[in-house]
């Protein structure tokens, strides 16, 4: 009898030891995978241009709303790469395609270019800086989102956005100014509702405060630096 219980206890101890070993191995595998992913994202960010970072940051209020990255960046102890570079996580791509189709009726690159360039061509005629900020944000959201979803290349999306970025730099003096104008433009936009306004305001507040946010890590370009910002695209391209 006592021998039976001893063997039972020994068996339980052995099973617990094996379980702990398996858990430790799983934790080590997760850590290794996270480090590998972090390294790949760091390399992607290092290869990006200042212009790409700025263009994506113009769309950050939408990106952080629909595919938030700040929390994961903190947990993984990395930069908020998906708020700085055009690409988004692979498991977000299909949802992003549906989002672009729903909000902009865009399902391919030709449609994306037509809608983005139409928005950009109208920017200079916007009635106020509030309207301008709203539509700059939407153009950046659509262009970078279309490239992230595979409808266009990153270079094509950035080409579409050059005039929008130049006008934003000319009219606004920083992320605070841009954010305030964006939210005011959203408040007065057709179809705006209180739930959406509160959500976007909350996201904008987080972007202005979080240390990993592109609105904290990407400096707003000086008005006379646009040519240098565009030139950074060429410097960032692989040889």
pTM of the model: 0.84
Per residue, the 3-state secondary structure of 141-158, as one string, reads HHHHHHHHCCCCCHHHHH
- On whether the CB atoms of residues 88 and 148 are closer than 8 A, the answer is yes
Identify whether the C-beta of residue 139 lies closer than 8 Å to the C-beta of residue 133: no
Q: How far apart are CA 164 and CA 140, in angstroms?
A: 8
Distance CA 60, CA 69 (A): 10
Buried b (16+ CB within 10 A) or exposed e, 196-222: eeeebbebbebbeebebbbbeebebbe
Sequence-distant (6+) residues with CB within 8 A of 196 are: 186
Measure the CA–CA gap between 72 and 80, rounded to whole angstroms: 8
Q: Which of 212, 222, 228, 234 is nearest to 57 (CA)?
A: 212
Residue 220 has what DSSP assignment? P
Q: What is the pLDDT of residue 239?
A: 33
| pLDDT 10s digits, 187-221 | 988 888 899 999 999 999 999 999 999 999 999 99
pLDDT 10s per residue in the chain (239 long)? Answer: 556 556 656 666 666 666 666 665 565 555 655 677 667 888 888 999 999 999 999 999 999 999 999 999 999 999 999 999 999 999 999 999 999 999 999 999 999 999 999 999 999 999 899 999 999 999 999 999 999 999 999 999 999 999 999 999 999 999 999 999 999 999 988 888 899 999 999 999 999 999 999 999 999 999 999 999 999 998 765 43
């Amino acid at each position: 009898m006592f021998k039976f219980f001893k063997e039972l206890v020994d068996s339980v101890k052995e099973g617990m030891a094996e379980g702990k070993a398996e858990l430790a191995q799983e934790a080590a595998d997760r850590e290794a995978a996270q480090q590998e992913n972090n390294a790949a994202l760091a390399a992607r960010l290092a290869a990006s241009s200042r212009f790409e970072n700025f263009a994506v940051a113009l769309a950050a209020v939408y990106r952080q709303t629909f595919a938030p990255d700040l929390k994961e960046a903190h947990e993984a102890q990395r930069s908020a790469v998906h708020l700085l570079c055009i690409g988004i996580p692979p498991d977000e791509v299909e949802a992003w395609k549906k989002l672009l189709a729903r909000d902009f009726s865009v399902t391919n690159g030709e449609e994306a270019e037509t809608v983005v360039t139409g928005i950009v061509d109208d920017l200079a005629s916007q009635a106020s800086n509030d309207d301008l900020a709203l539509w700059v944000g939407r153009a950046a959201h659509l262009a970078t989102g279309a490239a992230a979803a595979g409808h266009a290349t990153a270079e094509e999306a950035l080409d579409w956005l050059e005039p929008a970025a130049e006008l934003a730099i000319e009219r606004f003096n920083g992320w605070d100014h841009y954010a305030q104008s964006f939210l005011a433009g959203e408040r007065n936009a057709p179809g705006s509702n209180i739930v959406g306004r509160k959500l976007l305001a909350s996201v904008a507040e987080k972007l202005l405060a979080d240390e990993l946010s592109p609105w904290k890590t990407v400096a707003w370009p000086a008005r006379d630096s646009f040519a240098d910002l565009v030139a950074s695209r060429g410097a960032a391209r692989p040889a």
